[in-house]
Amino acid sequence: MKKNYQVKVKGEASKMIVFKLALTPGCEIENFLITGDFFAEHPDLLDSLPQELRNKPITDELVKYIEKILMIAGIYGVDLPEAIDTLASLFKEAREACVRK
């Protein structure tokens, strides 16, 4: 059964960032999206993530890689440390659900 996860982080001036994660029945990433009305200096880095992460298992290294991309992308309008913590929690929850199945 496919699993879907979504979290939102609200920021300054009603800006928000949304992380959406869909896993295959085998607990690999089917889709990962970062959306919202925040600002990014390098949105192309965020746009390339869905294809880059497809069919990869959730690992600590993968989460650190995504965190690094978020920092390099130059995101403004949301609390980036809070967004990164929320992202890490999302992936932890998804990984734990896969282990329990």
For residue range 48-74, what is the model confidence (pLDDT) as tens digits? Answer: 999 999 999 999 999 999 999 999 999
- Domains of the chain by range and CATH? 3-100 (3.30.390.50)
Collapsed DSSP state (helix, strand, coil) of residue 23: strand
Query: Both tokens of residue 93?
Result: 């929850």
**CA–CA distance from 46 to each of 18, 71, 73, 98 (Å)?**
12, 11, 7, 25
pLDDT at 41 over 60: yes
The residues near 16 (Cβ < 8 Å, ≥ 6 apart) are 8, 9, 10, 36, 37, 38, 78
**Residues 77, 10: Cα–Cα separation, whole Å:** 9
pTM higher than 0.95, yes or no? no
Collapsed DSSP state (helix, strand, coil) of residue 76: strand
